[in-house]
Amino acid sequence: MDHKEKLCADAWANPSSGNDLTNEISADCPTFANFKPQLHQQKWEDPSILDYGGIGIEPSFQEFNQPSETQTSLPCNSNNDTKMADREDGRMCETPQANKSQDWDPRTMLNNLTFLEQKIHQLQDLVHLIVGRRGQVLGRPDELVAQQQQLITADLTSIIAQLISTAGSLLPSVKHTLSTTTPSIGQFGQLGGSFVPSGVGNDASVKLQNSNGSKLADQSNHTDLISNYGTEQNYSIEEHESKDEEDADEGENLPPGSYEILQLEKEEILAPHTHFCAICGKGFKRDANLRMHMRGHGDEYKTPAALAKPNKESSSEPTLIKRYSCPYAGCKRNKDHKKFQPLKTILCVKNHYKRTHCDKSYTCSRCNTKKFSVIADLKTHEKHCGKDKWLCSCGTTFSRKDKLFGHIALFQGHTPAIPLDETKGTQGPADHGEGSEASNRVGNINFSFSSTAPGGVGVVQSLMDVKESINDPTSYFSPLNFETCNFDGFHEFPRPPFEDSESSFSFLMPGSCNYTHKTGGEPNSNNLD
């Protein structure tokens, strides 16, 4: 790190590195030149590719690179050579194949992915640099800081733009998307603001591609496609809005690298206080509380400026969205995971870490069975514990009978599960199932908060609950349901234990316990209907 930092510092200190710049540009341009025919190759029947290559990407990249012309983008430099080699190799291999399969080539994709990987590494390095820099910069004059900030931002945007374009090229039809949704990638300065919808757009176009793949080659359908796409996009946005509020960041589908990844250490996450008084050392959970506390240390802390919320940057300043990584190695939320899914806020990180990687120390005082690691979860659970009496054989509970019946009407093989007190009346198998059913039932109650969400009142109410317990109500949806709902489990769910007539009493018997937890994710999605 030290070594690198020095190198970097050198590069920045040295304004004469313009040479490098030209090198880099020349190096970059061929890359894209290579890239273009390759795209063309993939989809050469589709005339829109020309649009894409010519208008969509190239000019914007030039535009992008412009700011960096005056400065160096050092990290890029180091990788350029290998990258080019890769690209050429890739192209060599592709050419013969292009005649055989005109639409899709895995090798191209592999190459693109490698490119993406490298770019991401660049980006990571850069971010590391920024992180390192921040500390040093503190003491320096403001101009320099501003200058460097600008520089870094410019570099970042360029890299990100490259990443996006390459990532986009992985999907044959994405050119429409890019050319329609992001009129000029040059506006990437406002990335944080504008990207989320376009990310969704990407997603939509992927769907479109899957369903209409054959149409793409057809010229006449081109316009249709675009209009189609428009509706598709709307649809998918809607879907994201309604779907899994708790999982907003999964829905937003940011392309890797379009955000800054931060990773807090375990101690930092678990620390009860995150804001400490510089004078007396007292810790606070919220910055606002700290500021209020500071007033006691003297009049200088009582000025409106001191009491104002810090870090309120001017809107003109382009900022990267921040995403967080879980420090737990191997976790899906850890940045080294293959299918890394970042966490949206620090609160998400905290709740995720506690829920997934910590002991559950809070026990529900009502049922004495359910345990939680996040106290807010416990409170939410306790509000509903025992209230959700409508039970499905899949283990899902509902606070309303009509919701249960809607659920059963929708899914094959699901049966209303007769409540415990009633099965008591019968002998034999019913009795047998009693005990297990009890645990089963109790086990399900923790999902209740998500199942009540769809009811308007439920949402409001739980939102209020959260307000009481958590600082940031806006981040309620994402943290609250991350880990109670295992989405991998959801896909496994349609295991129909009822179809088998022999084992079909599972709704009376312990069998249903096995998958209760797996299906946890379900209520949320079900209740959308």
Partner 1 sequence: MKRQRTIVTFNSNMNNNNNHLFHFLSEEIIFIILDFLNQNPIDKKAFSLACKSFYAIEAKHRKKLKPLRSEHIPQVLNRYPYVSHIDLTLCPRITDTSLTTISNACMSSLRSIDLSGSNCFSGTGLLSLAVNCKNLVEINLSNATELRDSAVAALAEAKNLENLWLGRCKQITDMGVGCIAVGCRKLRLISLKWCPGVGDLGVGLLAVKCKDIRSLDLSYLPITDKCLPSIFKLQYLEDLVLEGCFGIDDDSLSGLKHGCKSLKKLDISSCQNITHVGLSSLTSGSGSGGFLEQIILSHGSPVTLALADSLKKLPMLQSIKLDDCPVTYAGLKAIGNWCASLRELSLSKCAEVTDESLSSLLTKHKDLRKLDITCCRKITYASIDHITNSCTALTSLRMESCTLVPREAFVLIGQRCQFLEEIDITDNEVDDEGLKSICRCSNLSSLKLGICLNITDEGVANIGMCCSKLVELDLYRCTGISDSGISAVASGCPGLEMINIAYCKDITDSSLISLSKCSSLNTIESRGCPLITSLGLAAIAVGCKQLAKLDIKKCSSIDDAGMIPLAHFSQNLRQINLSYSSVTDVGLLSLASISCLQSLTILHLKGLSPSGLAAALLACRGLTKVKLQATFKTLLPHALFEHLEARGCVFQWRDKFFRAELDPQCWKIQLEDIMQMQ
* Residues binding partner 1 (CB under 8 A): 401-402, 405, 408-409, 413-416, 418-419, 422-423, 425-430, 498, 501, 504-505, 507-508
Contact, 179 vs 51, CB < 8 A? yes
What minimum distance in Å lies between the beta carbon of 432 and partner 1?
10
What minimum distance in Å lies between the beta carbon of 401 and partner 1?
6
Output the DSSP codes for 374-435: SHHHHHHHHHHTTT--EEETTS-EESSHHHHHHHHHHSTT--EEPPHHHHTTS-THHHHHHH
Which of 310, 429 has the CB closer to partner 1?
A: 429
Question: DSSP code of 320?
Answer: P
Which of 323, 407 has the CB closer to partner 1?
A: 407
The three-class DSSP label of residue 323 is strand
Which of 433, 520 has the CB closer to partner 1?
A: 433
Which of 132, 511 has the CB closer to partner 1?
A: 511
Fill in the amino acid letter for 456: G
Q: Burial, 277: exposed, middle or buried (Cβ in 10 Å; 0-12, 13-18, 19+)?
A: middle
The three-class DSSP label of residue 55 is helix
Q: How far is CA 24 from CA 79, 83, 90, 125, 366, in A?
A: 10, 12, 21, 17, 66
Which of 377, 388 has the CB closer to partner 1?
A: 388
Which of 341, 423 has the CB closer to partner 1?
A: 423
Helices (H), ranges, 182-318: 191-216, 222-242, 248-252, 266-270, 287-294, 304-307
Q: What backbone phi and psi angles, to 5 degrees, belong to 258? A: -80, 0
What minimum distance in Å lies between the beta carbon of 184 and partner 1?
51
Which of 193, 419 has the CB closer to partner 1?
A: 419
Which of 138, 409 has the CB closer to partner 1?
A: 409
Pairwise CA distance, residues 377 & 366, whole Å: 14
What minimum distance in Å lies between the beta carbon of 420 and partner 1?
10
Q: What angle do CA 334, 340, 341 make, to 5 degrees?
A: 95
Which of 415, 471 has the CB closer to partner 1?
A: 415
What minimum distance in Å lies between the beta carbon of 395 and partner 1?
15
Nearest one of 34, 52, 212, 190 to 108, comparing CA atoms? 34
Find where tokens 């971010």 sit.
127
Contact, 242 vs 477, CB < 8 A? no
Pairwise CA distance, residues 97 & 104, whole Å: 10
Q: Burial, 156: exposed, middle or buried (Cβ in 10 Å; 0-12, 13-18, 19+)?
A: buried
C-beta neighbour count of 468 within 10 angstroms: 9
Q: Is the dihedral of CA 306, 309, 313, 319 positive or negative?
A: positive
Pairwise CA distance, residues 154 & 18, whole Å: 15
What minimum distance in Å lies between the beta carbon of 356 and partner 1?
35
What minimum distance in Å lies between the beta carbon of 516 and partner 1?
18
What minimum distance in Å lies between the beta carbon of 500 and partner 1?
11
What minimum distance in Å lies between the beta carbon of 426 and partner 1?
4
What minimum distance in Å lies between the beta carbon of 393 and partner 1?
8
What minimum distance in Å lies between the beta carbon of 440 and partner 1?
15
What minimum distance in Å lies between the beta carbon of 454 and partner 1?
17
The number of residues in the chain equals 529
Find where tokens 């009491």 sit.
307
Radius of gyration of the chain (CA): 27
Which of 322, 432 has the CB closer to partner 1?
A: 432
Which of 230, 455 has the CB closer to partner 1?
A: 455
Fill in the amino acid letter for 117: E
Pairwise CA distance, residues 177 & 197, whole Å: 11
Pairwise CA distance, residues 351 & 374, whole Å: 7
What minimum distance in Å lies between the beta carbon of 515 and partner 1?
17
Which of 90, 433 has the CB closer to partner 1?
A: 433
Pairwise CA distance, residues 185 & 57, whole Å: 8
Which of 223, 427 has the CB closer to partner 1?
A: 427
